[in-house]
Amino acid sequence: MKKYLSAFVCGFGAGVLHVVPVAKTFSCCLIIPLAAFISLMLDRKANPTDELIPSKKALMFGLMTGLYAALFGSGFDILITLITKNNDVVAAFSELPRVLQLFSLPENIKNDVMKLFSGVRDDILQYGFSPLYAFSILINNLAINSVFGIIGGIIGAQVINSKQKNQS
Amino acid sequence: MNFSKRTLLFALILLWFTGIWFECFVHVNKKMIYFYPFAKQSYSLVCHQDQKKLIEVGGCRSLVCARCTGIYLSALILSFAFLFKQPKQNPPIKYFLFTGILMLVDVIFSSLKVYNYSKTIALLTGILFGSVLFIYFCNGLNFLFTKTTNRN
């Protein structure tokens, strides 16, 4: 845990930013890679050295940042949904018939999709929790944040190493 | 990185990039609509998906904004190019800073309404920044696999 303290801090930050809509608009797909990059920089500050960052270490820091971000992001999302009994799915539900109209789908498929979503929406409105929503959020976050964290870690190490080489 | 690893990287990026155009699959096969919400949610983790900033091609909208599409498009093109010739070294850090600042300036200016948001500019700044990032990423992967292979 102590070894990946900076990943924990940055993962927490990225998890928080994931549920802040305005922040998401600005940073877009760069939140997690940037968090992994910053976690490497923080680790460098905490343990000063002139050595280049090994790729394996960068990969692990990226992965851990992504995993922490996924856990915190999912946790905050589920918690906020539980408290407010409202989220993106509920907000987007009124738009669903219009979206389905765009695809000119057969009636039975339209009904199936509406049924699936109204089930999730009703659960959220009534209990503030939908198992299907929570499961999909967690799996999506874990898979995508881990990959983007690794990408951010590897790129971050390359940038920091390039800077280090230039200085020396 | 050997050819098979580079091919795998290209295939994964191609898969991710193809997923951006999930709406087109729904038009081709109506049953794909069941997976559409999950695909949309997956891409929403890496993009704000603002309706006005999505790219529309032949009646199908992308699942990510123009800028993100630019970043992924550059990764796709470069991963294909790197199948034939690998980058030998990282681009100078000033390129990373220049393209990053260029993108940031466009984000800030278009958000503050200094000028109207342009999908073309967003796409171009995404391509430029994505290209530099991808070269760094490839060199990082190359370094990682070379070290691992040498150790074995």
* Inside any domain, residue A111: yes
Residue B135 has pLDDT above 90, yes or no: yes
Decide if A55 and B140 are in contact by the 8 Å CB cutoff.
yes
Report d(CA B129, CA B98) in Å as an integer. 9
pLDDT, position A166: 76
Same-domain status, A154 and A123: no
* Residue type for position A64: M
Same-domain pairing of A90 and A76: no
**A150 located within any domain:** yes
Residue A67 counted as domain residue: yes
A118 at B interface, C-beta within 8 A: no
| Per-residue pLDDT reduced to its tens digit, B100-125 | 999 999 989 998 889 999 999 999 99
Q: Are residues A78 and A102 in the same domain?
A: no
Give me the residues of A, 7-36, that contact B with CB < 8 A.
Answer: 18, 21, 24-26, 28-29, 32
Residues A41, A91, single domain; the answer is no
Contact B144, A154 (CB under 8 A): yes
Q: Do the domain assignments include residue A134?
A: no
What is the three-state SS of B37-51? Answer: HHHHHHHHCCCCCCH
pLDDT in tens, B53-106: 999 988 889 999 999 999 999 999 999 999 998 888 888 888 989 999 999 999
Where does chain B have alpha helices with state H?
Answer: 3-19, 22-28, 36-44, 66-81, 93-111, 119-151
Domain ranges of chain B: 3-151
Same domain, A38 and A75: yes
Q: How many Å apart are CA A62 and CA A33, to the nearest integer?
A: 8
Q: Per the domain annotation, does A110 fall within a domain?
A: yes
Q: Is A19 helix (H, G, I), strand (E, B) or coil?
A: coil
Interface of A with B in 44-73 (CB under 8 A): 54-56, 58-59
CB-based contact B144 A100, cutoff 8 Å? no
Is the residue at A132 inside a domain?
A: no
Domain co-membership, A80 together with A90: no
Is A41 domain-assigned?
yes
The CA distance from A77 to the nearest CA of chain B, in Å, is: 12
Query: What is the number of domains present in chain A?
Result: 2
Domain that holds residue A110: 86-127
Strand partners, B124: none
pLDDT tens-place values along chain A, 168 residues long: 678 899 999 999 998 888 887 776 665 678 899 999 999 999 998 888 888 888 889 999 999 999 999 999 999 999 999 998 888 788 878 878 887 777 777 888 888 888 888 888 899 999 989 898 899 889 999 999 999 999 999 999 988 888 887 777
